[in-house]
């Protein structure tokens, strides 16, 4: 993910979130996000082999969001907030093991670049 200029945001429960396009290379952020998701899912699927309890899937969306420091005091959380973050999390929860789900808008934007990614109407 870092090789693709992605920023790790947080891990909550069984989900991890990253974002692309801020502060690096906004022009191809969706392509890099899908590439990273496909790589992460494939790598983890290869590592866990036949352990059915550790199956992984991914979700990718692109759109407008608030990205910045949240919280008060000395410790602040640089994070993404908005519908797009929630949609990507929902897509991840819908993904079958070994699958990456992407938004319809993201799919249109990337047509032909990642045919192995499924599409959802979330």
What's 108's domain CATH number? 3.30.70.1230
pLDDT value of residue 86: 92
Confidence at residue 95, expressed as pLDDT on a 0 to 100 scale: 92
**What is d(CA 92, CA 77) in angstroms, rounded to the nearest whole number?**
23
Q: What is the number of helices (H) and of strands (E) in the chain?
A: 3, 7
Are 56 and 77 in contact by the 8 Å Cβ rule? The answer is no
Expressed in percent and rounded to 5, the helix, strand and coil fractions of the chain are 40, 25, 35
Total tally of structural domains belonging to the chain: 1
pTM: 0.79
Look at residue 38 in the predicted model and tell me its pLDDT: 92
pLDDT number for residue 112? 61
Question: What integer pLDDT is reported at residue 88 of this predicted model?
Answer: 92
Question: Which residues span the domain enclosing 92?
Answer: 2-120
Q: Give average pLDDT by consecutive 10-residue segment, the chain, 122 residues.
A: 88 85 81 92 83 82 88 85 92 91 86 61 50
């Amino acid at each position: 993910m870092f090789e693709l200029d992605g920023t790790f945001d947080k891990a909550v429960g069984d989900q991890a979130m990253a974002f692309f396009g801020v502060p690096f290379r906004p022009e191809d952020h969706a392509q890099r996000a899908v590439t990273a998701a496909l790589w992460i899912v494939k790598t983890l699927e290869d590592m866990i082999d036949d352990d059915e309890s550790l199956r992984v899937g991914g979700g990718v969306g692109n759109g407008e969001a608030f990205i910045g420091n949240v919280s008060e005091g000395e410790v602040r959380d640089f994070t993404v907030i908005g519908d797009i973050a929630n949609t990507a999390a929902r897509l991840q929860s819908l993904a079958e093991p070994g699958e990456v789900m992407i938004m319809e808008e993201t799919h249109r934007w990337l047509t032909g670049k990642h045919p192995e990614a499924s599409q959802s109407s979330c």
